[in-house]
A = this chain, B = another copy of it.
Amino acid sequence: MSGDHWVPPPVLLTVDLVILTLRESCLHALLIERGIEPHQGALALPGGFLGHEKEDLMMAAHRELAEEAGLGPDQLHLEQLGVYGAPDRDPRGRVVSVAYLAIAPRLPEPVAGTDASQACWTPVEQALSVDSQLAFDHEQILTDGVDRAREKLERSALATAFCGPTFTISELQDVYEAVWGVPLDARNFYRKVQSVDGFIVPAGPSRKTDGGRPARLFRPGPRTTLHPPMMRPLSEADRETA
């Protein structure tokens, strides 16, 4: 505050998206192959610069969601994940990224032929493996997004966002098992899910078959927070003990 007309340094804002969905009982994220420098040819999260001076951040996220993934704002969970603003994260200068986490139900087909040169659903395990180098700090952002989803499955009804408008309890269990990466006991899962009032509500007498006994259909209930939380079997908790 020494000078009177000191001007703060301007920065450029990007919005990056961690879009998660389930495909064949496996957690996938949408990645694009970058068509321009920097990191041309590398895999990256979909995203882009703020459109104009007056664009709201979440509106920008919705816009990118539509442009790069063909996803409308309906039936889609979208929440802010965090800011990533290390000074050297982008060689073009000071670019700060606002990351959003989107949860989408299973979609017809991988989107392509849109703005991004190529968009493909990639298993997160593969995307986070050592040999797949993501652009910028997108590996960190993706890791944080998956962690956030794992945590929110414990205490919120977020899991239903992975499903369509109606779903069976088995499908919901698939979500938990895929995101957490651990098997769950179906019987205890049935009991728990049905005991939490307002989590899922029956969706008519309709049923759909898949080889065995037809399953009842449910749809998301009004409850958004789970008390008590859904318990996740500890696998990483013990290494934090030491």
Which residues of A approach B to under 8 Å, CB–CB? 1, 8-14, 49-57, 80, 82-83, 85-87, 94, 96, 98, 115, 197-198, 222-225, 227-229, 231, 234, 237, 240-242
**CB-defined A-B contacts under 8 Å, sample of 29:** A1-B115, A8-B13, A8-B50, A9-B50, A9-B51, A9-B52, A9-B53, A10-B10, A10-B11, A10-B12, A11-B11, A11-B50, A13-B96, A53-B87, A54-B87, A54-B94, A56-B87, A57-B85, A57-B86, A83-B83, A83-B98, A198-B241, A223-B240, A223-B241, A224-B240, A225-B240, A227-B234, A228-B231, A229-B229
Q: Which of chain B's residues have a CB closer than 8 A to the CB of A56?
A: 85-87
Tell me how far the C-beta of A157 lies from the nearest C-beta in chain B, rounded to whole angstroms: 10
- Residues in chain B near residue A50, CB distance under 8 A: 8-9, 11
| Max chain B Cβ within 10 angstroms of own Cβ: one of A94, A197, A234 | A94
Q: Known A-B contacts: A10-B11, A10-B12, A222-B242. Give 19 more (CB < 8 A).
A: A8-B12, A8-B13, A8-B14, A9-B50, A11-B11, A11-B12, A13-B85, A13-B96, A53-B94, A57-B85, A57-B86, A57-B96, A80-B83, A83-B83, A198-B241, A223-B240, A223-B241, A225-B240, A227-B237
Tell me the bound Cα distance from A174 to B142 in angstroms: 37
Closest residue of B by beta carbon distance from A88? B54
* Min CB–CB distance A72 → chain B (angstroms): 21
Q: Are B225 and A237 closer than 8 Å at their CB atoms?
A: yes
**A11-B13, A82-B80 known; A197-B241 Cβ under 8 A:** yes
Q: B87 contacts A55, CB within 8 Å?
A: yes
The winner among A11, A49, A51, A55 for most chain B CB atoms within 10 A is A11
Cα distance, A115 to B1, chains bound together (Å): 9
